[in-house]
Amino acid sequence: MGRPRVLVMVILMSLASLGAWGQTVAGEVVLVVEVDPRVLQGGPVLLNLALQDRREFDDARITPRYSRSVEITPESLGEAPLELVFTGVEAGEFVVSGYIDTNRDGRLTMGLFGPTEPWGMAGLRRPLLARPRFDSLKLSLPRDVSSDNNKILLKIK
């Protein structure tokens, strides 16, 4: 079996109950990102994750305000999840998206029929027959968990 083309993102327990952000504890919003270990067959990879607002989602030329990268190795996918933190996120609606930058060019590589690198979005159902829609994937970050003191924590496992 070759390298997978899908990055699975789970908001805490399951995608089926996706309607709001995950658990909020003391100003911390927790999301879980699952990475298929098969993506590491060729060695360490770079995982790029972003919180995209509607404008950023609709126009791929715009760099998301909230984006982070982390190198994934077989050792880093051990028992304790890696943690990637977004701080100072403003209240609003976002789509959580990500991809494995296999060629390390800093962008999601596209082919004739869509992305050629493993990618995913929280709440995305497969098979995908059309371009994902913001309204069907958006998550609302309420004002009460959005300030400079609060953070969004992505747990990568």
Structural domain contains residue 29: yes
Q: Tell me: the pLDDT tens digits for 70-95?
A: 888 878 777 667 777 777 778 788 88
Q: Identify the CA nearest to 68 among candidates 32, 96, 28.
A: 96
The number of folded domains in the chain is 1
Structural domain contains residue 144: yes
* Residue numbers of the domain that contains 112: 8-126+136-156
Instruction: Return the minimum-mean-pLDDT range out of 58-72, 97-111, 142-156.
Output: 142-156
Structural domain contains residue 3: no
Structural domain contains residue 122: yes
Structural domain contains residue 131: no
Res. 31 pLDDT band, cuts 50 70 90: low
Strand runs labelled E in 19-91: 24-25, 28-34, 45-52, 66-72, 82-87
Structural domain contains residue 34: yes
Structural domain contains residue 44: yes
Q: Identify the CA nearest to 121 among candidates 139, 109, 107.
A: 139
Q: Identify the CA nearest to 33 among candidates 69, 75, 66, 61.
A: 69
Structural domain contains residue 97: yes
